[in-house]
Amino acid sequence: MRRRDFIQLAGMGAGAMALPFDLSANPVDIARILDPLMDAKAKKVLADVALNVTKGLGATYTDVRIGRYLNQFVTTREKKVQGITNTESFGVGIRVIVNGTWGFAASNSVTPEGMKKTAERAVAIAKANSKFQKEPVVLAATPSYGEISWKTPITKNGFEVPVKDKVDLLLSANAKALDKGVSFVNSQIFLVNEQKYFASSEGSYIDQDIYRIFPNFGVTMIDRASGQFKNRSGFGTPVGMGYEYLDGKAEDKIASPGGIILYNKSYDIVEDASMAADQVKQMIAAKTVEPGKYDLILEPSHLWLTIHESVGHPTELDRVLGYEANYAGTSFLTLDKWQSKKFNFGSKIVNVVADKTQVGSLGAVGYDDEGVKCKSWDIVKDGVLVNYQAIRDQVSILGQKESHGCCYSQSWADVQFQRMANISLQPGKDRLTPQEMISKVEKGIYIVKEGSFSIDQQRYNFQFGGVLFFEIKNGQITGMLKDVAYQANTHEFWNSCSAICDERDYRLGGAFNDGKGQPGQSNAVSHGSATARFNGVNVINTARTI
C-alpha cells in the first residue's frame, strides 16, 4: 500500500473506531446532518457584529468566515463493514489588518458575544504582530459583491442517500473482486459538505454550499508460490459532484488501449472492482521491465499526479519566493524565469491553465476564502512560463492588480492562505486518440493510474511510478509490464512532450489531501489532461537492487 493511501485509510479507520454508527441510521441523526442550522440572514447579523467591533478597534480590513463542515466515511473490507462515521465542525474565523499587519482568531462560539470576543482577540493579535512587521500588508482590490450565494451543481445529495445503500454498493464491489479470487479487498465512500459564509468590511456577504465525493477501493493478490503480491486501486477519482457520480452511466465509460475501461463524469465501482481483480493477477504474471529510454504514453489517471507535483507546486508564488517550504519544498521556477518572458517550461504544445471554476473539479467554488470571484488563468502558454498562483497580498509582488482567487482554509479554525488551484494540461488542438498515438511509437510504455513518487525540494528532479504498465513495440501493445518507474527533471520532461490527445480524451484526476503549511492544512484539488506522449524518458526497474 502506498503511503498516501495508508494515511488516508488509517485516518478513516481511526474515525470509524471513535464514532461507531448504527447501519439503520437513526432518523434524528440524519435530520441533524441535513439541518442547515443557520440561514444567510442570521449569519449576516452575526458577521456584522464582528465587522463593527473590529472597525471600532482600528482595523482597516476584516473578513469573517462562518463555516460548517460535514464529513461522512463509509468503509468496508471483504464481506464486513469496518466503520461508518459522521463528523461535524462549526465555528468562525476572523482575520483583520491592524497597523498594516495580519491578525487571526477563531472560536466555536458562534453567538453575538462569541463573535465580539473573537473579533477583539484577532485585533489584539494583529497589534502584537505589528511590532515585528517590516512592511505593511498590501491587498489587491476586489469588488464588493453584496449578498450573493453559490452552490456545487449537484443532482443527488450523498448525505441524503441511506447509509445502507452505500454499504450495499461497496459490499457488491467487494464481492465481485472476491468472486475472482483476490486475497483482500477494501472499499470506501468519503463525502464532504462545506457550508461557508464569508463577510468582509468591503461589503461582500457570500454564502456557499460545496460538495465533494471520493469513492475508492483496493484489491490485493498474493501469489504464495513466488511470494509476490500486487495492489490495484480504483479508477474512480475524487470529484466536486454529488452522489450522481456513482451512477456509472454507460456513456461515461471509455474503452482505452490495453483492454481497460476508464471512467469520466460518472463511475461504476462494481465493474471496476471486477476488472481490477483480473488485472491484479496479470500484474503478478507480467514481464519485468528492461531499463532504458522509452517514449511514454501517460494516461490522465496517471498524469494528474505528475502535473500536481511538477507544475502545480512549483508555480505557487509563496514557494517561488521561499516563504513556504513545508511538504513540497520551494521552487526552481524563480522570478527571473518568469520575468524573462521566454523561459521554455515545456514544448510549444504544452499549455497549462489554473482554473477554480471547472464544473466537477475538486477546487470549483464561486468565490475563494478572501471573497474573490474565482476564474481561470494561464500558467504556461505555448510552452512558456507566463504566470504563477497568487492571492490578494501577493499579486503586487508580480506587478499585478487582481488576485487570482486561490485562497483557501481547510476549516473555520485555520487561517486562509494561498492554495493550489485546479492546474490542468490543456488537450491538443489536432484530433488524436490514444490508440492513434500508440500506433506511432516504436519503443514505449503506456502507463495508467498514479503510483508512488519522489521529487526534490526544488520540484525539479523526480521519479514516478504507476499501477498498470503496457509495453509498446512498433505501434502495438504487446503485453503488461511491471517494476516500472521513470526519472527526469521537470524542465526536460515537459520539453519532451511531443503529442497530446484532443478534448475527447480530456479527464480529471485529483486528491482530497494536498498538504501545505505549518500548522499543516489539507486542500482538495483536481488536475485535468488528455493522454500525452513524452519522448526518450529514462525508465528504471524498481525491483532491481543494482
Report the number of distinct structural domains present in the chain.
Answer: 2
476 is a domain residue? yes
Residue 169 has pLDDT above 50, yes or no: yes
Task: Report the DSSP beta bridge partners of residue 466.
Answer: 450
Domain check: are 205 and 352 in the same one? no
252 is a domain residue? no
Which of 1-15, 439-453, 456-470, 473-487 has the least mean pLDDT? 1-15
Last residue of a domain, one of 217, 247, 273: 217
255 is a domain residue? no
The whole-model pTM stands at: 0.93
Please, which residues have CB within 8 angstroms of residue 54's CB and are 6 or more apart in sequence?
A: 62, 94, 96, 119, 122, 123, 201
229 is a domain residue? no
Contacts 24+ apart (CB under 8 A), 315-321: 315/354, 315/379, 315/385, 315/387, 315/388, 315/389, 315/423, 316/388, 316/389, 316/418, 316/420, 317/388, 317/389, 317/390, 317/394, 317/397, 317/398, 317/418, 318/394, 318/417, 318/418, 319/459, 320/388, 321/397
Write out the DSSP string of 77-143: ETTEEEEEEEEEEEEEEEEEEETTEEEEEEES--SHHHHHHHHHHHHHHHHHHGGG-SS---PPP--
Rounded to an integer, what distance in angstroms lies between the CA atom of residue 438 and that of residue 447?
A: 12
Give residue 159's pLDDT.
Answer: 96
Kindly report the CA angle at 101 between 97 and 106, in degrees rounded to 5?
60
236 is a domain residue? no
Domain check: are 378 and 506 in the same one? yes
Which among 214, 222, 191 has a CA at the least distance from the CA of 269?
Answer: 214
Higher-scoring residue by pLDDT: 271, 14: 271
Domain check: are 178 and 65 in the same one? yes
| DSSP label at residue 277 | H
Which residue blocks in 286-353 are alpha helix, DSSP H? 300-307, 317-320, 335-339
Domain check: are 514 and 375 in the same one? yes
Q: Coil, strand or helix: which one is 437? A: helix
240 is a domain residue? no
Please, which residues have CB within 8 angstroms of residue 291's CB and are 6 or more apart in sequence?
A: 539, 540, 541, 544
Domain check: are 43 and 141 in the same one? yes
Q: What is the mean pLDDT of residues 105-123?
A: 98
Terminal Cα distance for the chain, rounded: 24
Rounded to an integer, what distance in angstroms lies between the CA atom of residue 460 and that of residue 449?
A: 22
Domain check: are 198 and 294 in the same one? no
222 is a domain residue? no
Give residue 293's pLDDT.
Answer: 98
| Residue 483 backbone dihedrals phi, psi, to 5 degrees | 65, 40
271 is a domain residue? no
Last residue of a domain, one of 169, 190, 217: 217
Last residue of a domain, one of 217, 238, 264: 217
Q: Which helix (H) or strand (E) holds 468?
A: strand 461-473
Domain check: are 93 and 206 in the same one? yes
The CATH number that applies at residue 28 is 3.30.2290.10
Which conformational region is residue 259 in: left (phi greater than 0), alpha (psi within -120 to 50 degrees), or beta?
A: left
Higher-scoring residue by pLDDT: 80, 21: 80
Residue 19 confidence class, pLDDT cut points 50, 70, 90: very low
Q: Which domain holds residue 138?
A: 3-217
Give residue 12's pLDDT.
Answer: 35
Cβ neighbours, 10 Å, residue 217: 25
Domain check: are 388 and 506 in the same one? yes
